[in-house]
Amino acid sequence: MRTAIYPGSFDPLTNGHLDVIQRAAKLFDRVIVAVAENESKHPLFTLAERVALAKKAVAKLPNVETDSFSTLLVEYVAAQKAQAIVRGLRAVSDFEFEFQLALMNRKLDEKIETIFMMPKDTYTFLSSRIVKEIARLGGDVRPFVPPNVQIALKKKLKRVK
Ligand code: ADP
């Protein structure tokens, strides 16, 4: 059983994340989308909301699960008996941080491999931060996020206004 963990803030999950998840789901028997608490990033959605949004968005993928974690990532990966961490690479600008993170995780647990997946080119400009900015300013986010996330953004930001 080959298991991969796809960790991130997913605040909220976008079509770029989904693209990476679908690619990983073809390579691994089981993929766990692991939502990090990341309170220091002051997320727009609570941890429970981010998990629920991701869960609904991946519901049709039989070998994909959603979970949350607040421990060290390598500890979570070991607890799930997973072999790999999946991360997405959009552009060279992602590389430096991701490279550092991957090597640090290897220092912490050398048995765990980090695998990078490139999304479809049309998603390379997409980030949760940009999607939130567009939504805040009243733009149409439907091309960038699953329908349930679009509805949640609308609800959340109406309350903010
Ligand atoms: P984090 O706060 O850990 O960076 P994110 O939710 O922003 O969490 O991203 C999780 C992972 O998904 C990261 O590896 C990030 O580079 C990747 N990612 C984010 N958006 C995209 C996208 N549009 N295409 C491919 N990978 C992406």
If you write DSSP's letter for every residue of 32-51 in order, what string do you get? EEEEE--GGG--SS-HHHHH
Report which protein residue has its CA nearest ligand 1's atom 26. Answer: 88
For the chain, the farthest-separated pair of C-alpha atoms sits apart, in whole angstroms, at: 47
- Give the integer Cα–Cα distance in Å for 76 and 15: 25
Cα(143)–Cα(14) distance, integer angstroms:
10
- Whether 12 is in the pocket of ligand 1, judged by its Cβ within 6 Å, is no
> What separation in Å is there between the alpha carbon of 4 and the centre of ligand 1?
15
Ligand 1 centre and the CA of 8: distance in Å? 6
Q: Is the pTM of this model over 0.85?
A: yes
Fold of 3-124: Rossmann fold (3.40.50)
Please write the tens of the pLDDT for every residue from 108-143: 999 999 999 999 999 999 999 999 999 999 999 999
The β-bridge relationship of strands 3-8 and 84-88 is parallel
